[in-house]
Amino acid sequence: MQQLSFLPGEMTPGERSLIQRALKTLDRHLHEPGVAFTSTHAAREWLILNMAGLEREEFRVLYLNNQNQLIAGETLFTGTINRTEVHPREVIKRALYHNAAAVVLAHNHPSGEVPPQQGRPPYH
């Protein structure tokens, strides 16, 4: 479960408990197999909810069947606060393992900034 540090302001213990229970319920439903992604916007919104408040960069993969339903989702690589390395071989290996018809690739920027990566290839 993620920390609630991304929420502004002070909270009472009761508010904190309520929000944590709500996030836990949401998290459980977000990870249920069979969630259908009807558009790239739907996948983007799912990922924003799922990755909110992370303190390190993560590279995640959603594995979809031929009806764009979620088979599984996982964090393949975790980096530092401003960098994570991605190994395409591992992405392909896991997609084959899940027998995925499609994949959605995502990573976050905990700092909120998306600087251009001059002279550095996007994948290693």
Q: What is the mean pLDDT of residues 104-112?
A: 87
Residue 77 lies in a domain: yes
Q: What is the mean pLDDT of residues 74-101?
A: 95
Residue 4 lies in a domain: no
> How many independent structural domains does the chain possess?
1
- pTM, 2 dp: 0.70
Higher local confidence (pLDDT), 96 or 51: 96
Give residue 77's pLDDT band: very low, low, confident or very high (50, 70, 90): very high
Domain that holds residue 87: 34-107
% of the chain surpassing 90 pLDDT? 40
Give residue 115's pLDDT band: very low, low, confident or very high (50, 70, 90): low
Chain segment 17-34, per-residue pLDDT in tens: 787 777 777 666 666 667
Residue 115 lies in a domain: no
Which CATH number characterizes residue 45's domain?
A: 3.40.140.10
> For residue 29, what pLDDT is reported?
63
Walk across the sheet containing 70-78 and list its strands.
70-78, 58-64, 102-107
Write the Ramachandran bin of 119: left for phi over 0, alpha for psi from -120 to 50, otherwise beta. left
Residue 22 lies in a domain: no
